[in-house]
Structure 1
Amino acid sequence: MHILFLSDNFPPEVNAPASRTFEHCCEWVKAGHQVTVITCAPNFPKGEVFGGYRNRLWQAEEMSGIRVIRVWTYITANEGFLKRILDYISFMLSAFFAALFVRRVDIIVGTSPQFFTAVAAFMTSLLKRRPWIFELRDIWPESIRTVGAMRSSRVFDLLEKLELFLYRRADAIVAVTHAFRDNLIVRGIDGGKIFVVTNGVDTSRFAPREKDPELVAKLGLQGKFVAGYIGTHGMAHALETILDAAGKIRTETGGERFRFLFLGDGSNKATLVARAAEDGLDNVIFVDTVPKDEVVRYWSLLDASIIHLRRSPLFETVIPSKLFECMGMGIPVLHGVRGESAMIATREQVGLTFEPENADDLCRVLNFLVSEPEVLQKLRDNGPLAAVKYDRLVLAQNMRTIIQGVVSKARTP
C-alpha cells in the first residue's frame, strides 16, 4: 500500500503535528508500506527556514524510509491571521501540484490543524480517483475565532461551510479526541466514518530520567522546584496566567524555592518575555525552541509540567499531546484545561487540575504538590504506567488498520 500524506509540519520541526505524523509514518514503513510525505521547508514556529534547508519549489529527501517532498510556501511567523492564511493557501496549492507527480498512490491523508491541507488532499483524491482521509487535529476555523484572531462573521461563515463540505466528502475522518467526533456528529456528519486515534507518546524516547546536570548548572536550577511549560507560546495558551502565578509565588516565598521554565516559541513569546522583565520576575526562565533530540533533556528538568489553554468550551474538546509526553517522562502535570484531557489526567492519576486562567488556583495546586511529597511521588510513578496505554506504536497500528479498511472498501466493486 502506498500512503500519500500531506502535512505542513514535519521534522525537524518539533511540534505535535510533526511528531505524530513522523512517528506514525515510521511505523507504517516498518510494516512494509510505502509512504510519501509532502510538506514544506521546516520553519515553525518562527517563520525562519531551518539550517540546511531552502524554500524551493521542490526538494526531496528520505527520512527513516519515508520519502519526503518539500515544496515552496509563503513562509511567515506563526502570527497574524492574514499572513497565516497566505501560508496555508500557498501550501495547499504547492502540495496539490506536487501530489500530481507522485505515482501509484493507494490513499491520500490530509492533516489539520487548519483544513487547507485537507483541501489539497481532497483535490488530489478527485484527480487520482483514490480515497482520502481527513485527520482532524483541531476544530478549525472555530479555534481561530475563539482566540479572537478573526472578526469577520462573513469570512468565518464561508470557512465553516468549506469545513463541513470537507467532512462530508472525506472517505473517513480520524479525530484525535472523542469530543471532536461528538462535535462532528452533532453537526450532521456520519458517525460511522469517524474514528478516534488519540495523540500519544514514543515511550522509547520519553521515559523517566534524572535531571540533566549540565542544564541544571547552566540555568541555575540547583535545589529549585521547577515548574515548566514546554510548547507553543500562542494566543490559545494564555500563558500570562503562569506569569501571574510566578509573581504571586515570588511575593509569597521570595522567589527562592521555585523556578518557572518556558521552552518554545510562538506569536506571544516576545510579549511574555517583555512582561516578565517589566514585572521583575527573576524566577522565570525563557528558552527558545531546541532540536527534537534535545527536548527530553529539558523535560528532565521539570518537577511539574504546566499544561494550559484559555477558558473556552472549544478547548474542552482538545487533548494537548504534551500530556502523554509527561506521562512517559514520569512528570506530574498541573492541568489547566477542562474537558476530556482533564478527565484523562484525573483518571490516570498523573496530575492535579486547576481552573484555566486562574493564577491563584495554579498557585494552590503547586503549593499543595510541594507540600505533599507522597502525592508528588505517586503522580510520578503513575505516569509511565499510564503512558503504555497511549504508546505511539499501538496508535499507529490502529490508524493503519483504518487506512487499510478505507483502501479495501474503495477497491471493492
Structure 2
Amino acid sequence: MTRVLHILDHSLPAHSGYTFRTRAILKAQQARGWDVAGVTGVRHPLPGPPYERIDGIDFYRTPAIPKLPSPIREWREIGALAARIDELCAIERPDILHAHSPVLDALAAARVAKKRGLPLVYEIRAFWEDAAVGNGTGREGSIKYRLIRGLERRAVDTADAVVVICNGLRDDLIARGVAADKITVSPNGVDLALFGAPPQPDATLRSALGLDDAEVIGFIGSFYDYEGIDDLIAAMPALVAARPKAKLLLVGGGPCEAALRAQAASPVRDHIVFAGRVPHDDVERYYALIDVLAYPRKKMRLTELVTPLKPLEAMAQRRIVAASDIGGHRELIKDGVTGTLFKPSNPADIAATLADLLARRGDWEAMRAAGRAFVERERDWSANVLRYEPVYQKLIDGR
C-alpha cells in the first residue's frame, strides 16, 4: 500500500478552491487503496486541535508561531512546518512526501525529504509571486517578486517530480529551463460523486432575491480584483438595455466587495443583487437560480497561466458558462461548444456576448450536455487521480 503525506497551506474545514481540490485528491487516492494524510502549515486559518479527522481524512496541524516581520516570519514558518513533517514521518511512515504550493510548503518538505531519504513531489497550483499580484499584495517585477520566483525555481530543482494543474504552468516552467519529463499535468477536476442531478430552482429563494421572471447572470466566488467583477457590473447598463429582464446575482465576498457595491449603485442598481457569502452546502441552491454563470477574469500572468475550478463545477451542474478569453479559461471552455468566450476587460463585449447568449436559448441544451460530457470525460477526479500513480511508483522504485 502506497503511503502519502500531503503538505498543505490549509485544508478542510476551511472552504476554498484550494481545500476542495485537496479533498478531491485525497478522497480519490483513498478510493485507490492508498494510505493518505495531510499536514497544514501555520497559515491554516481555523483554530482546532493538533489532529482532526474530517470527511474520513486525517489532518495534522502545525503549532502557531509568533508574529514576526517578513522575511523572518516566512523562514520561521518553513522551520515550524519542517519540524512537524519530521514528527509525522515517524507516525505515518510515508513512502512519498507530496507538497502543494505555495513554495514555503515545498521548501519545508525538502528539508525532511533530504534528512529521511524520501522522494518529494511538488505540486504547483499557482506561482506564489503571481498570486500575490492578483490579490493586490505584490507587484510584478519587484524585488520581493523576483525573490519568490527564485525560491520557486529552487523548490522545483530540489523536488524529484513536479505536478502542475494546467498546461499554462507547465509551459512556463519549461520556458524557465525545467525538463519537460520532470513535469506532470494533473488538471483541476470535479468529484462527480458530489454533483448529481442539479436541484430544482427554489421558488422561495428566487422571490426573496427579487429574481422572479428574470434572466439571471451569476457569479459565485471570491471578490478579488483579478476576477473582473467590476467589468461585469459595468456591462449591466448595456445588457439591461438589450435584455430588460436581465439581472446580475453576485454570491460571495472578498476584498473588493465594498468597491463593487458602490459601483453597483447605478441607474441599473435594481438589476444587481448581492447575496453575500453563503454556506457551502447551500451553493447548489444558488446555482439552480442562474441561467448563465459569468467568469470575467482580467488578463494577467496569473489568469493566463492558471485554470480556475468554478467553471468546471458550473459545467458539472449543467449550467451555461460565459468567460473572458484568457489562457486559463481556454483550457476549459471551447467557444460555442461547452461555453462562450468574450473579450477580457471589455464591458461592451461582455454585454453583447451575454445578450446574444440569452437570445439563443435554443442552443442551451446542447451546450449544457457538451459541458457536462467534457467534465465526465476529462475532468472527473476518479480518472484524474490515475495521473499520480506512475509518478509515485517511479519515485518509490528509484528509492
Fold-level similarity (TM above 0.5): yes
1:46-65 CA deviation, whole Å, 9 max, x = no partner? xxx4xxxx26xx52111233
Instruction: Kindly indicate whether the alpha-carbon contact (under 8 Å) linking 1:203 and 1:328 is maintained by their aligned counterparts in 2.
Output: yes
Instruction: Kindly indicate whether the alpha-carbon contact (under 8 Å) linking 1:177 and 1:196 is maintained by their aligned counterparts in 2.
Output: yes
**Cα separation, 1, equivalents of 2:151 and 2:22:** 24
**Cα separation, 2, equivalents of 1:406 and 1:294:** 41
Match for residue 375 of structure 1?
363
For residue 109 of structure 1, report the CA deviation from its aligned partner.
Answer: 1.2
204-213 or 84-93: which moved more? Answer: 84-93
Q: 2:3 aligned with 1:9, yes or no?
A: no
For residue 144 of structure 1, report the CA deviation from its aligned partner.
Answer: 2.9
Match for residue 231 of structure 1?
221
Match for residue 304 of structure 1?
292
Cα distance change, pair 86–242 in 1 and its aligned pair in 2 (3 A): farther
Instruction: Kindly indicate whether the alpha-carbon contact (under 8 Å) linking 2:42 and 2:65 is maintained by their aligned counterparts in 1.
Output: no
Equivalenced residue count is 392
**Cα separation, 2, equivalents of 1:105 and 1:6:** 12
Cα distance change, pair 366–348 in 1 and its aligned pair in 2 (3 A): closer
Instruction: Kindly indicate whether the alpha-carbon contact (under 8 Å) linking 2:317 and 2:372 is maintained by their aligned counterparts in 1.
Output: yes
For residue 67 of structure 1, report the CA deviation from its aligned partner.
Answer: 1.1
TM score, norm. by length of structure 1: 0.86
Match for residue 285 of structure 1?
273
**Cα separation, 2, equivalents of 1:219 and 1:173:** 45
Instruction: Kindly indicate whether the alpha-carbon contact (under 8 Å) linking 1:29 and 1:65 is maintained by their aligned counterparts in 2.
Output: no
The 5-angstrom pairing of residues 174-323 of structure 1 reads: 174-209=163-198, 210-251=200-241, 253=243, 256-277=244-265, 281-323=269-311
Matched to 1:222, the amino acid is: D
Instruction: Kindly indicate whether the alpha-carbon contact (under 8 Å) linking 2:189 and 2:381 is maintained by their aligned counterparts in 1.
Output: yes
Cα distance change, pair 93–301 in 1 and its aligned pair in 2 (3 A): farther
1:84-142 CA deviation, whole Å, 9 max, x = no partner? 98986665444322212112121111112x32222222222122221111111113313
Cα distance change, pair 86–319 in 1 and its aligned pair in 2 (3 A): farther
Matched to 2:291, the amino acid is: D
Unaligned runs of 5+ in 1: 77-81
**Cα separation, 2, equivalents of 1:148 and 1:266:** 12
Instruction: Kindly indicate whether the alpha-carbon contact (under 8 Å) linking 1:71 and 1:91 is maintained by their aligned counterparts in 2.
Output: no
Q: 2:47 aligned with 1:61, yes or no?
A: no
Cα distance change, pair 2–341 in 1 and its aligned pair in 2 (3 A): same
**Cα separation, 2, equivalents of 1:129 and 1:228:** 49
Matched to 1:34, the amino acid is: D
For residue 286 of structure 1, report the CA deviation from its aligned partner.
Answer: 1.9
Q: 2:130 aligned with 1:129, yes or no?
A: no
Aligned-residue identity in percent: 25
**Cα separation, 2, equivalents of 1:399 and 1:348:** 32
- Match of 1:346, SS? coil
Match for residue 28 of structure 2?
27
Match for residue 95 of structure 2?
106
**Cα separation, 1, equivalents of 2:260 and 2:44:** 21
1:319-341 CA deviation, whole Å, 9 max, x = no partner? 11112112111111111141253
Instruction: Kindly indicate whether the alpha-carbon contact (under 8 Å) linking 2:86 and 2:112 is maintained by their aligned counterparts in 1.
Output: yes
Match for residue 358 of structure 1?
346
Alpha-carbon RMSD across the aligned residues, in angstroms, is 2.8
1:335-386 CA deviation, whole Å, 9 max, x = no partner? 1141253253116811110011111111111111111111222212222211
Match for residue 396 of structure 2?
407
298-307 or 114-123: which moved more? Answer: 114-123
Match for residue 96 of structure 1?
82
Match for residue 61 of structure 2?
70
Matched to 1:180, the amino acid is: L
